[in-house]
Structure formats: C-alpha cells, structure tokens
Amino acid sequence: MIDKEAVLRCIEGPMDLYKDEMCEVLDDWRPLLAASEKLLEGKEVDYEKIPPVMQLMVRMMQLIMELTDKKQWSWSHPEVVKVFGEKAESPFYRVLTNVIVRTITAIVKTVEVGTLLEVGTGPGKIAARLCEGFAAEHIDIPLIISDKEQHISGTGAELRGSFPDFSIRDFVWDLREDPPEELTDSLERPVLLFSRVSLPYAGYGAIDRISPLADIYVMQEDLNLTGRKEAYDLIYEKIGGTFFTYEKALQYLEKHFSLIHRCDRKTVEALHFPSATFTLAIK
C-alpha cells in the first residue's frame, strides 16, 4: 500500500522551488500568446519585443507555420532539431527539468519503488540527470526508458555505458499502441511512471494505455484549465498535437487512480497560467 499522504508531503518542497524558479524566469506568459496570434495570422513577429526566455518557443512556432505551409514538417528536419535542442537547454526548460528530477527523486526517497519507468524519453537528458542523482545518493532502482523512435536503443546504450552499476532497459513504445509485452513483463511493482510532453501526439487514449502500468504517475503535461484554445494550441495542432484539457484528462485518470492531485497550483496562480503542468496520480 502506497502512503499517499507521504507522497503528497514529499513533493511540496520541489513544487515550492518550481514556483520560485519559474517566477524568476517568466513573469508574464502573455507575450507568447501575442506572438502566436501574429504567427497564426501570417504576420511578422518583432523578436526584439519578445522576452529572451520566450524567443526559442516563438521560433519553433514560426518553423511549424513555415514548414507545414510548404508540407515539409518533420521532427528530423535540421532546423527543427536545432531549435528544439536549443529550446530544451533554455532557462525555461531547465526549470522544468529541475522540477521533474527533484519530484521523482523525492518520491523514490519516500516510498518503496520497484521500477522507474519513463515514457517519451527522447534523448535521455532527464534519465541521465536522475541516474547521476541516484548514484550520488546510493539509490538503486531498475530504470526502464521508452520512446516511439528507434533511437531509444542508442540512448539506452549510452546510459548503460555511463552508469554500468544500474539496471537500465530500453523499449520502443509508440503511445498510440499498447505497450510491448516484454516491457510489461519487466515491471516490478510498485511502478513509478513519468512522462514529459509525451501525450499531445498520442491523444487521450494514451492515458488508458499508460495508467495500467503505473502505481504512481507523474505527468509533466500541459493540461488546459480554461477549455479555450489559444493561437499556440492551433499552431501545434498543425503537426498533430492534441488539445488536452485538465477536465477531460481527469476523466481518463479517474478510471485508473484513486488520488489525482494538481501539484503546481501555486505556480499556476502566481503566473496566471492557463494550463496545469504537473499532475500526480496514485492508485
């Protein structure tokens, strides 16, 4: 039995730091909305009027508009790879990386975890950060990473080379499909599962495919709180992004979990965000 109250208590510190750090790097999200509205209308954006922390996000949206118009959009397009890589290293996204690492670490130090499972691993930056922290604190938990792209085998090999004392397995898993049987057979309960911006391109049904595997699920996913699509939502729909609302995601989560908790209420209220970014679900 997972001590739900202990989990809620242990993430309070990481979430308070998240609010403080996010308020330092982003005091107003509205310039992003204004820029996205101009892009959607086909107008030019004056980057000098956009806060530096948002410029890479705007550049990504501009690329989406340009490349989809030419029917050349691809995540492997050299310009997309370049901007996405730079965006991942920006102060804004470093804050998001810090909080997911702190939150996962706090949970594994508080409750027994049999397997740590990451879906949508990508290049493995978060997994590497976690392994570094676990090694420093002598935490030994089997780690499974997964991604829909074949490169996950290379990411797994790199992690095993860097952390030879850890049990690290990798699987190809497209969240639009059921998990591979070999992955599910590898799980030791209880499972702590986390995802980071992995659901938009898989749809709501991914929640039903993910949830049976997780005893604790940490979602770093944007779940809209207003029910209103903004210009940036419409831009990302051009590349297959699903507009996720908190209300509808909650309906899916409630089928599988007894506790669902919006972790970042303080940050949302402080910055007037239209979306929740961190949601915790426990069976």
Greatest alpha-carbon span in the chain: 55
Long-range contacts of 264-272 (CB under 8 A, 24+ apart): 264/15, 264/18, 264/19, 266/15, 266/16, 266/19, 267/15, 267/18, 267/19, 267/22, 267/23, 268/225, 270/19, 270/22, 270/23, 271/22, 271/23, 271/26, 271/27, 271/28, 271/29, 272/29
Query: How confident is the model over 24-55, as pLDDT tens digits?
Result: 998 888 889 999 999 999 999 999 888 888 89
pLDDT at 86: 85
Q: What is the pTM of this model?
A: 0.95
Map tokens 């209300």 to a residue: 247
**Which whole number is the average pLDDT over 167-178?**
97
Confidence of residue 152 (pLDDT cuts 50, 70, 90): very high
Map tokens 């995540």 to a residue: 75
Cβ of 198: how many Cβ atoms within 10 Å?
A: 22
Distance, in Å, from the CA atom of 162 to the CA atom of 205, rounded to the nearest integer, reads: 35
Write the burial class of residue 70 (CB in 10 Å: 0-12 exposed, 13-18 middle, 19+ buried): exposed
**Which whole number is the average pLDDT over 155-161?**
97
Distance of CA 66 to the CA centre of its chain: 25
Instruction: Point out which residues pair with 261 in neighbouring strands.
Output: 280
Residue 8 one-letter amino acid: L
Distance, in Å, from the CA atom of 72 to the CA atom of 74, rounded to the nearest integer, reads: 6
Asked whether residue 98 carries a pLDDT value surpassing 80, the answer given is: yes
- Which residues, other chains included, contact 251 with Cβ-Cβ below 8 Å and sequence gap of 6+? none
Nearest to 278 by CA among 119, 33, 100: 100
Query: How confident is the model over 178-234, as pLDDT tens digits?
Result: 999 999 999 999 999 999 999 998 999 999 999 999 999 999 999 999 999 999 999
**Which whole number is the average pLDDT over 74-90?**
85
Query: How confident is the model over 60-76, as pLDDT tens digits?
Result: 999 999 999 999 999 88
